Structure 1
Amino acid sequence: MKIARRYGISPAQRGGASGQSCPDILRLENGGYLVIGKTPGVPNLSARDLAKHGASIGPDEQAVVVSADVIHGAALEIAKEQR
């Protein structure tokens, strides 16, 4: 798996102290996306709450929380690519 590009601005441009901290959204060469964020923790995210919204987390998956500014910045660039 190789990274093709970053979406949005870098953590350093968003004011990350080390310039290397998450969150981030990257496009993979295979067309998928790599989302880097903080794990919400079991007490804050229940399977029951996910199920109410038709969602679940499989045994080979992990949920992360990514801030709105990262998602919005990436979404604008992704939308431009789709045109």
Structure 2
Amino acid sequence: MKIVRRLGLSPRERGSLSNATCPDIFELSDGSFAVIGTDRTSELISQLPADAAVADHERIVVIDRETLVAARRDIPRLPRGRQSPE
């Protein structure tokens, strides 16, 4: 699995000059996405709805709204009528 491309603007383009906080979103070669964000699992896990869970190998990662909005134009859409695999 490899990083294919960044979605949205780089942290520097979004105004991060220190690289102290650099949330980011990347598309991977297998079609999935990697997110750099703040691990907030312990804070949010108790607030998940009953039909959601976090496996031992998973974390709830938070990115700021600006990062996701900046990536919106780069997120590929599924062809009409096709559902996301689960």
| SS of the residue 2:38 aligns to | coil
C-alpha displacement of 1:69: 1.1
Residue 26 of structure 1: SS of its match in structure 2? Answer: strand
- The answer for unaligned runs of 5 or more in structure 2 is 80-86
Task: Please list, as runs of the form range in 1=range in 2, the aligned pairs for 1:19-58 lying within 5 A after superposition.
Answer: 19=19, 21-40=21-40, 42=42, 44-47=43-46, 49-52=47-50, 54-58=51-55
What letter corresponds to residue 59 of structure 2 in structure 1? Q
Q: Could you tell me how far 1:41 is from its partner in structure 2? A: 5.2
Report sequence identity in percent: 36
Partner of 1:62: 59
Residue 11 (1) aligns with residue 8 (2): no
Give the TM-score taking structure 2 as reference length: 0.76
Equivalence for 2:83: none
- TM-aligned CA deviation for residue 3 of structure 1: 0.3
Moved over 3 A (4+): none
The root-mean-square deviation of aligned C-alpha atoms, in Å, is 2.0
Aligned to 2:74: 77
Question: Partners of 1:20 and 1:35 in 2: how far apart?
Answer: 16
Structure 2 letter corresponding to 1:45: L
Structure whose residues are more often helix by fraction: 1
